[in-house]
Structure 1
Amino acid sequence: MKTPKKGVNTICAHVGELKDKEFKGAVSPLYMSTSYEFEDVEVKRYPRYFNTPNQEALGKKLAALENTEAAMIFGSGMAAISTALMSFLQAGDHVVFQQTLYGGTYNFAVTQLEKYGISFSFTNGWGIPDFEKEIKPNTKVIFIETPSNPLLTVTDLKGIAQLAKSRGLLTMIDNTFASPINQNPGNFGIDVVLHSATKYMGGHSDICAGVVATSNENMEKIFQTAICFGGSLSDYTVWLLERSIKTMGIRVKAQNENAMKMAKYLSVSDDVENVYYPGLEIHPDHDLAKSQMNGFGGMLSFELHSGIDVSQFFKQLKLIKPSMSLAGIESTVLSPTKTSHALMSPGDREKQGIKDSLIRFSLGIEETEDLIQDIEQAINQVKSMQVPA
């Protein structure tokens, strides 16, 4: 009889844990060694080969969360993304990138791929026809991100997977914003799932890591590239990440709830021009998001009215932290033009709709009422500083 799939919080807490056989401790032991025996052993272990006990155990947990055959942990999200791409691309190949894309991935494409004779295209939108239009005879990979950073656009996972398979192409997704709690792209036919584990998996703004989850066949190709690039993670950080993932399900659920309440508040505020959150019915991709997401996520973006200075708004916040990165238990805001998408040219940011007035908001686990009060007092402080015309 087939064993039923465990619930997500059970997977977070128990799958892939190492047993403390000596002292019977409740948590996985930490194996810090960088040197292991090679004679008369089943596995020749070495940290750069991603096969130390802690690395292997965490990979099993991550694969279970994404419902894939295998998963591998990297030193950062960009280490995972760049290694995955270079595992399936070579000179003469072409890759299609979604237009709305994380700035680091965009920068990797425009500054590195041509050095290796790899060409690329960015779509003009994120609908299936936009991707189909960019496919060339030498295209090998379609790379998407949904919900996207920072405008929370939503791409049709099933549609992209069907398009790629009809053309014999491999699909990759940056699933960071959703997390495995809110979205499992492999269930819709996406081949390679990528994460910045620095975000929701780490969840406490103190870990830098990345993840690739895919089939055993694809992982073997990625492994061969990964051992050359050397983007492995220290076992101490692997252990910390495994500890953090145990609470990911309940953290993300609270962040989802906070983001929905905050999006509804901001959408009716007289001081806000636009709100971008797929959980809102006014979001153009709301129905699509409902069909492929388990929750709408803890991320949103919004634009203050032009008369409210964004930099001054950041300075007046008392509870919400103006800070880099996202997905911690504390709520943070940032300006994408100054941080996550600063490496993009102003023209390219404009094409994506990323304005200087845009604020990316990562909801933590605080009470929403306290966060709303902080936003209101900050806006009022900025307004009081303005000199009447």
Structure 2
Amino acid sequence: MSDKRNRFETLAVHGGEPRPGADGSVVFPIYQGTVFEADPAGAGGDVPYIRLGTNPSQRHLQRRLAALEGAEAAVATGSGMAAITTALHSALGAGDHLIAAGAFYGGTGQFLAEHAERLGWAYDLVDPGDEDAWRRALRPDTKAFLTETITNPTIRVGDLVGAARFARAHGLTSIIDNTFATPVVFRPHTVGFDLVCHSATKALNGHSDIAAGVVTGSGELIGRVASVLRAYGCTLDPHAAFLLSRGLKTLALRVRQQNANALAVAEFLAGHDRIAHVRYPGLTGHPDHRRAAEWFDGFGSVLSFQPVGGAEAAESLVKSLRLAYAASSLGGVESLVTRPAADGHDASAPVATPGLSDDLVRFSAGIEATEDLIADFAQALAD
């Protein structure tokens, strides 16, 4: 177990790790078993079992994830959507109301559009940076506030500190999707958020080979999330837990290189005459640059931009890049590029995402050499 005073790079390697390890192993083993012999004298509810998320491999991962976000507890889920939906289920019941920042991941919007009414939830979509809009949306039955650290794919940074403060003042459970930032860039619990969610499929794992999610928070709130998770059977398989725990050890190194690459590419594109607009909070001209510079350690690995020439030019650019894969995920060691509107990001959202146009291109920086990524964009724009 690492000292809490250690820097993040050290925490990523040692946080939540038992010392000594099982049978002296530096690497925590995979406990693939589904069932374990119960201690007749033990507490009846604490049984190691895969669906309950209490298999030793699952518990080990959850200690590691809690340490990285600076939380009391964590629960690992089978996907990022399982993290978001179980967090919402833990905070909302039939007849309750949710305030949700309107610019969010398409899967979250699809879930609310298709299932909120059936579950008896009402919700209002608000601007993540407009506290007056939050106040207008507030109702006696409002129970939760949902937002994202960096919006997907429009790359905005809302008033995060204000959102956490607003939720606390009105007795709401504050829930934030921290996937785009990662705890390397921002740790939402430090400014007062109650539940922090990730699609660990993305940067936390970093190698594009598992689906996973995580929710962190207080022991009490994570207990509620875990109760929902167990009922729906959305816990993470032990082998995936092993891979995710391994990925976490290089998280800081990967994210810092990805951030540096994203900033360099954003600066290159912002100065290119065939690019109309670039969205990246590391650029001084970005409307949320001051917020990001104050709260973040880095500006994230994802940017979006619009080339001159509209959707046709955007599609041509995506096809001309040689290093970035045309794929709709993000946060891996390999760079990825996509057109969110063409990939159905908004297809089932409750309202169209503000700023999502058919010429918008989203780029997720990998860990390749910065110079090679810039050269690749230069050749693609020269075609």
Q: When the two structures are superposed, what TM-score results if normalisation uses the length of structure 2?
A: 0.94
Distance 2:4 2:12 in 1: 16
- Structure 1 residue 122 displacement after superposition: 0.5
Query: Is it true that 1:348 corresponds to 2:331 in the alignment?
Result: no
Q: 1:16-75: CA deviations, max 9, x gaps?
A: 2355443x3331111110011124364411111111111111111111111110011000
Question: 1:310 maps to what in 2?
Answer: 314
- Structure 1 residue 144 displacement after superposition: 0.4
Amino acid at match of 2:141: N
- Structure 1 residue 153 displacement after superposition: 0.7
Query: Is it true that 1:199 corresponds to 2:202 in the alignment?
Result: yes
Do the aligned partners of residues 46 and 374 (structure 1) sit closer, same or farther apart at CA in structure 2, a change above 3 Å counting? same
Question: 1:323 maps to what in 2?
Answer: 327
- Structure 1 residue 111 displacement after superposition: 0.5
> Contact (CA 8 Å) 1:95, 1:120: kept in 2 or not?
yes
In the alignment of these two chains, the number of paired residues is: 376
Identify which of 220, 224, 227 aligns with 2:227: 224
Question: 1:86 maps to what in 2?
Answer: 89
Distance 1:337 1:21 in 2: 48
Distance 2:55 2:203 in 1: 24
Question: 1:368 maps to what in 2?
Answer: 370
Q: When the two structures are superposed, what TM-score results if normalisation uses the length of structure 1?
A: 0.93
Q: Percent identity?
A: 39
Q: 1:81-108: CA deviations, max 9, x gaps?
A: 0011011111110001101110000111
> Contact (CA 8 Å) 1:102, 1:340: kept in 2 or not?
no
Amino acid at match of 1:374: D
Distance 2:48 2:128 in 1: 45
- Structure 1 residue 116 displacement after superposition: 1.2
Question: 2:132 maps to what in 1?
Answer: 129
5+ residue gaps in structure 2? none
Question: 1:387 maps to what in 2?
Answer: none
Q: Aligned with 2:351: secondary structure?
A: helix
Q: 1:323-355: CA deviations, max 9, x gaps?
A: 12001111110011123614246x933x51100
Distance 1:241 1:362 in 2: 20
Structural mapping, 1:203-352, within 5 Å: 203-306=206-309, 309-339=313-343, 341-344=345-348, 348-349=351-352, 351-352=353-354
Where do 4+ consecutive residues of structure 1 move more than 6 Å? none
Distance 1:4 1:107 in 2: 39
Distance 2:90 2:160 in 1: 22
Q: Aligned with 2:228: secondary structure?
A: helix
Q: 1:188-224: CA deviations, max 9, x gaps?
A: 0011000000111110111110000000111111121
Question: 1:184 maps to what in 2?
Answer: 187
Question: 1:29 maps to what in 2?
Answer: 29
5+ residue gaps in structure 1? 382-389
